[in-house]
């Protein structure tokens, strides 16, 4: 039997990274992408998309585009990457995020039904944003969910929840409670896909990705992430601005490690109701990241500016032990080395 892998959003950052491996495991690999100008500088095929991958320009929210695609492509596996990902942007463009992330998913599933296609497996890349602030503990170790930091808290410079300590995200333990429109749409994606797959006897595999970075990410998209933004500021000899008090915690996971985790799940994982948490397994403060990048370029000392972004969480890291055990996967590139690789890649292009 001919095996075919369809990758939605397949010409993007993660899709291009996957394209280097997927053709080794499938007879045919097809990338569906709308080539949105926020991500792509031009409508031309990305140079980083492996030549063995077929590119189909189409929109996941369009039933007509799905019908045209499935008239020719009958996927045995799907990697669903297509999404709008701007946490702050989702507050002012909520309809766009819901349309792509939620309706785009339901359009895909409806199209599969119309064309009587039942892939063996659908892999969804969800996000750590579904957790919101996640679970915190008090001095006695009692777990509590403080919820979203209010605008009043942030305006007063109250960055933390007094008396509480953040804990790493872990899908079997931490209840999702999104603090952004983006996070809410990604959680809806998870629920929709699980319900459909279990009813249709399709294997669902869900990932909650931490902050993905590395060579290949867009350098023009303002919502692509702070690692490339910091690097470009430092390279220009400018001061890196650091929000809040600099002690925001994030888990930065290198693109190659994300791609290898997705491939492992695509090839080897059974259905997982508890999503795989994919990160480096280490939390890094934003100030530490900024200083690392400033040191690489000999840029001035980063400066805390006290600014904030509504919907951002204070601390986001994860426990990757379940993913490591189930997928026989381990991150290979920690943030110090990964940042240097990204900066070297930027230096070749800017």
The pTM of the full predicted model, rounded to 2 decimals, is 0.95
Q: How far apart are the first and last CA of the chain?
A: 46
Confidence of residue 223 (pLDDT cuts 50, 70, 90): low
pLDDT beyond 70 at 222: no
For residue 55, report the phi and psi dihedrals to the nearest 5 degrees.
Answer: -105, 125
* Residue 285: Cβ-neighbour burial (10 angstroms; 0-12, 13-18, 19+): middle
pLDDT beyond 80 at 220: no
Mean pLDDT of the chain: 94
Per-residue pLDDT tens over the stretch 296-343: 999 999 999 999 988 889 999 999 999 999 999 999 999 999 999 999
Domains and CATH numbers, the chain: 4-347 (3.40.50.720)
Q: What is the pLDDT of residue 44?
A: 85
pLDDT beyond 90 at 212: yes
Of 182, 213, 276, 297, which residue is the catalytic one? 182
Rounded percentage of the chain residues whose pLDDT exceeds 90: 88
Cα separation, 68 vs 61, in Å, equals 13
Q: What is the pLDDT of residue 41?
A: 72
Residue 71's contacts (CB-CB under 8 Å, 6 or more residues apart) are 115
Per-residue pLDDT tens over the stretch 153-211: 999 999 999 999 999 999 999 999 999 999 999 999 999 999 999 999 999 999 999 99
pLDDT beyond 70 at 136: yes
Among positive and negative, which fits the CA dihedral 102, 250, 344, 222?
A: positive
Is residue 207 among the annotated active site residues?
no
Lowest mean pLDDT among 28-32, 35-39, 126-130, 232-236: 35-39
Question: What 3-state DSSP class applies to 213?
Answer: strand
Confidence of residue 93 (pLDDT cuts 50, 70, 90): confident
- The token duo for 223 is 């919502």
pLDDT beyond 90 at 350: no
């Amino acid at each position: 039997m001919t095996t075919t892998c369809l990758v939605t959003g397949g010409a993007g950052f993660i899709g291009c990274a996957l394209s280097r491996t997927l053709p080794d495991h499938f007879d045919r690999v097809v990338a569906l992408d709308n080539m949105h100008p926020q991500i792509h500088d031009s409508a031309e095929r990305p140079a980083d998309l492996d030549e063995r991958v077929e590119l189909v320009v189409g929109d996941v929210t369009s039933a007509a585009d799905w019908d045209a695609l499935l008239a020719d492509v009958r996927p045995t596996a799907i990697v669903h990457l297509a999404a709008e990902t701007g946490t702050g942007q989702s507050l002012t463009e909520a309809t766009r995020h819901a349309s792509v992330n939620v309706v785009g998913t339901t359009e895909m599933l409806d199209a599969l039904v119309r064309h009587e296609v039942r892939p063996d497996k659908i892999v969804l890349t969800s996000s750590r944003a579904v957790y919101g602030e996640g679970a915190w503990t008090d001095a006695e170790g009692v777990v509590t969910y403080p919820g979203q930091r209010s605008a009043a808290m942030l305006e007063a410079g109250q960055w933390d929840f007094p008396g509480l300590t953040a804990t790493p995200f872990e899908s079997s333990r931490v209840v999702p409670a999104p603090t952004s429109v983006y996070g809410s749409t990604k959680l809806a994606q998870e629920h929709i896909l699980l319900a459909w797959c279990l009813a249709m006897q399709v294997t669902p595999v869900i990932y909650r990705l931490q902050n993905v970075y590395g060579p290949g990410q867009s350098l023009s998209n303002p919502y692509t992430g702070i690692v490339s933004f910091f690097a470009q500021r430092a390279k220009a000899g400018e001061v890196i601005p650091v929000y809040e008090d600099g002690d925001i915690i994030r888990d930065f996971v290198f693109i190659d490690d994300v791609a290898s985790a997705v491939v492992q799940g695509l090839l080897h994982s059974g259905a997982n109701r508890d999503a795989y948490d994919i990160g480096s397994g280490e939390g890094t403060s934003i100030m530490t990241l900024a200083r690392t990048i400033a040191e690489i370029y000999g840029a001035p000392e980063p400066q805390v500016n006290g600014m904030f972004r509504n919907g951002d969480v204070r601390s986001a890291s994860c426990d990757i032990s379940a993913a490591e055990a189930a997928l026989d996967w381990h991150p290979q590139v920690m943030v110090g080395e990964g940042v240097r690789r990204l900066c070297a890649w930027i230096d070749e292009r800017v």
